[in-house]
Amino acid sequence: MKIDYPKLEKKINYKFKNKNLLIKSLTHKSFDKINNNEKIEFLGDRVLGLIIAKKLLEIYPDEKEGILDKKYASLVNKKTCLEIAKSVKLQNYILVFNPKNKSVTIEDKVISDSCEALIGAIYLDRGFNLTEKIILDLWKEKIKGSVITQVDAKTKLQEFSLKKFKSLPTYKTISDTGPRHKPIFRVAVKLQNTKFYNGDGKSKKEAEQKAALFCLNDNLIL
């Protein structure tokens, strides 16, 4: 099946100089173990983060760091990347292993990762300024609607784990450092089928919340 890449370029309002970068950014490792989008995704994740952080500082110059951090997390997490990707039907352009050339359902994580890879490809193709313009256009409504949602991440993660695995998340304290009057706790959490996610905080409770939030974000649960 031939993929209509120009149609995608029209959707994102960007025409690649190097078409190979576009194709590589949408090539999953199941399709090509060597020439795939894993490393470009790594780059795209950082570029997206920098652009969103810069924009938030411009919009909210007097906002507290903690509030900015929550706004930032809501704009760059996997769930938001997935929503942006699906808004341009990115799943229709991703190359995955499909020996029988039949219609396949692409996993949400593959789609959100490909969104980040596409950002990395645009950056490699034309540099920071044009990439910033594309991202701010695609994320425009998300940035407008960026609100602080006070999520009890630990409770949400517990509810998900009980529903899916019939078991509670596993927490463990990694470290307790710093002076007694100003300690820093590091806590890790994992679900039945995930790696451990670390969170740091001024209290054990805060560290648990951050670890739970990282786990929720990375597994598209939020």
Kindly list the catalytic residues: 45, 116
Strand partners, 188: 172, 198
- Cα–chain center distance at 191: 19
In the chain, helix, strand, coil percent, each to 5? 55, 10, 35
Taking phi over 0 as left and psi of -120 to 50 as alpha, with beta for the rest, 220 belongs to left
93, burial (CB in 10 Å: exposed 0-12, middle 13-18, buried 19+):
buried
Encoded tokens for 28 = 């999953």
In this structure, are residues 189 and 196 in contact, taking their beta carbons and an 8 Å threshold? yes
> Do the bridges between strand 184-190 and strand 197-201 make them parallel or antiparallel, or are there none, so unpaired?
antiparallel
**For residue 13, what are its two tokens?**
């309002």
Q: Which residues contact 109 (CB under 8 A, 6 or more apart)?
A: 78, 220
SS3 state at 187: strand
Task: Report angle CA 16, 22, 23 to the nearest 5 degrees.
Answer: 140
